[in-house]
Amino acid sequence: MSPLLTKSGFPANIVRLDNGLTVIHQQIEATPVAVVDVWVKAGAIREPDPWSGMAHFLEHMIFKGTETLPPGAFDREIENRGGMTNAATSHDYAHFFITLAAQYLENGLPILADLLLHPAIPDEEFIREREVVLEEIRQSNDNPDWLAFQALMEKIYQRHPYGRPVFGSANQLMALTPSDMRQFHSCHYQPENMTVAIVGNVSQSRAIALIEQSFDRFPPRTPCPQLELEAEPPMTEIRRRELYLPRLEVGRLIMAWIGPGSEQLYEAYGLDLLAVLLAEGRSSRLVQELREMRGLVHGIGSDFSVQRDSSLFTISAWLDPENSEQVESLIRDRIYELQNEPICDVELNRAKRVLCNDYAFSSETPSQLAGLYGYYHTIAEAPNAVAYPACIQSYDAEQLQQVANHYLSPNYYAVTHLKPL
């Protein structure tokens, strides 16, 4: 890890309560709002195989009330005070947040805590909400981009649960019971697995006192089946898959490489730079050649996403299916060039500007900051959240080429071709 990733300059305070709960607090007096974002290390990688889809389904059921709070009461309480709430689940986490005018924090935070710590998970609501999740699965299965990406994930992660869809499958969902879900909840929704990020016009003393009062009674811990995580071995071949769909008008090509996990964030940031250099913006290498000059693709982009255990670097193209193999071959050639030819300062400086500007635009509001701190503390350490621009600026061309040689290969990758039936 780079020495730049330190606690120096971190504008928030990190407090660990006596019960093991972590609080990240930053007061911003200039804003009239307060944001509470609760992050839980209870994502899809915590599910044993038979319980696949449990973490996401539980996210839905959290909002179905407690013994003292009927379904819908939480949303009404927040919305009637002009606030908003939402939640999301990934492989690495689930998180739940509210945004309120600061004077209403005492009204909103305690009921959010009540939902998170004491969900009733009533049988009749479980059955009703399962239909909602099943519909999400059906909609995903009608989405060509989701199908292509999920096929790719299964190819690249053949052992690790990152290869499974967060939704689970319809068959697995039908086999889950309310009792299973209560067991999963009481096992993982414990203080040592939670981070509460609170940002806005709230003093630290007020925030800590309210959190201590609200998160004071966790459920009795219940053991549940655990998934033994296996490290994904390095790829030593091209893992290829072709999918054929009826009525598909535009083909898809997605190529992927495994990158470092959150313990090697500095190297991960190098892959962020490479993603911009290759395929973000009209002046990037692949956009210029494959779309602007050759006209082989309708669109092309590259993406890098950090995950706790390993990260994912992808190049995706939307194209006429007859061009698919040629585009894959040209991308391989450009990866080879990236490894073996110097990266010019003009390209590197453009990529740095793009990423630093994106970071600035995504860390302006209290909700963005609370999400940023909570996310980083869940997969790594919160202070890394503000070290990103300095790390990006510190890269030189030689370091970036080393990252390309270590993680990207024209000979070892996973690829999905999506073509019409």
- Characterize 364-400 residue by residue with b for buried, 16 or more Cβ atoms within 10 angstroms of its Cβ, and e for exposed: ebbbebbbbbbbbbbbbbbbbbbbbbebbeebeeeeb
**pLDDT score at 266:** 94
pLDDT digits (tens, 9 = 90+) for 85-99: 999 999 999 999 999
- Characterize 76-104 residue by residue with b for buried, 16 or more Cβ atoms within 10 angstroms of its Cβ, and e for exposed: ebbeeeebebebebbbbbbbbbbbbbbeb
**pLDDT score at 47:** 96
Mean pLDDT of 235-259: 95
Mean pLDDT of 179-195: 97
Contact 240, 415 (CB under 8 A): yes
**pLDDT score at 275:** 98
Domain residue ranges of the chain, discontinuous segments joined by +: 13-214, 238-420
**Checking DSSP bridges between strand 194-200 and strand 22-27, what pairing results, if any?**
parallel
pLDDT above 80 for 413: yes
Gap between the Cα atoms of 215 and 213, Å rounded: 6
**pLDDT score at 300:** 98
Mean pLDDT of 374-403: 96
Gap between the Cα atoms of 25 and 385, Å rounded: 14
Query: Within a 13 Å sphere around the CA of 25, how many CA atoms are in the beta-carbon half?
Result: 19
Q: In what order do the strands lie in the sheet with 84-89?
A: 13-16, 22-27, 194-200, 33-40, 94-101, 84-89
Query: What is the separation of C-alpha 172 from the centre of its chain, rounded to a whole number of angstroms?
Result: 23
pLDDT above 70 for 68: yes
**What DSSP assignment string belongs to 288-346?**
IIIIIIS---SEEEEEEE--SS-EEEEEEEEE-GGGHHHHHHHHHHHHHHHHHSPPPHH
**pLDDT score at 3:** 38
Gap between the Cα atoms of 404 and 386, Å rounded: 24
Helices assigned H by DSSP within 157-191 = 170-175, 178-188
**Checking DSSP bridges between strand 22-27 and strand 311-319, what pairing results, if any?**
unpaired
- Characterize 221-241 residue by residue with b for buried, 16 or more Cβ atoms within 10 angstroms of its Cβ, and e for exposed: eeebeeeeeeebeebeebbee
**pLDDT score at 5:** 46
Q: Domain 13-214 class?
A: alpha beta
Gap between the Cα atoms of 28 and 11, Å rounded: 10
pLDDT bucket at 288, cuts 50 / 70 / 90: very high
* Residue 88 DSSP SS3: strand
Q: How many residues does the chain have?
A: 421
Closest CA to 39 of 196, 186, 184: 196
Annotate 185-227 with three-state secondary structure: HHHHCCHHHEEEEEEECCCHHHHHHHHHHHCCCCCCCCCCCCC
Q: For the chain, what is the mean pLDDT?
A: 95
Mean pLDDT of 66-70: 92
pLDDT above 90 for 124: yes
pLDDT above 90 for 227: no
**Cβ–Cβ contacts within 10 Å for residue 314, how many?**
21
Gap between the Cα atoms of 377 and 384, Å rounded: 8
Mean pLDDT of 312-326: 97
Of 228-232, 291-295, 309-313, the least confident = 228-232
**pLDDT score at 330:** 98
Intrachain domains 13-214 and 238-420 with the same fold: yes
Query: What is the separation of C-alpha 258 from the centre of its chain, rounded to a whole number of angstroms?
Result: 15
Gap between the Cα atoms of 421 and 418, Å rounded: 9
**What DSSP assignment string belongs to 44-74?**
GGGS-GGGTTHHHHHHHHHTT--SSS-TTHH
Gap between the Cα atoms of 225 and 238, Å rounded: 34
pLDDT above 50 for 1: no
| CB neighbour list of residue 405: distance below 8 Å, 6 or more residues apart | 339
Residues 238-420: name the CATH superfamily. Metalloenzyme, LuxS/M16 peptidase-like (3.30.830.10)
pLDDT above 90 for 8: no
Write out the two tokens for 118.
Answer: 């004491």
* Residue 110 DSSP SS3: helix
pLDDT bucket at 7, cuts 50 / 70 / 90: low
Mean pLDDT of 306-332: 96
**pLDDT score at 4:** 43
Gap between the Cα atoms of 124 and 57, Å rounded: 14
**pLDDT score at 94:** 98
**Checking DSSP bridges between strand 238-245 and strand 94-101, what pairing results, if any?**
unpaired
Mean pLDDT of 396-406: 97
Mean pLDDT of 315-325: 97
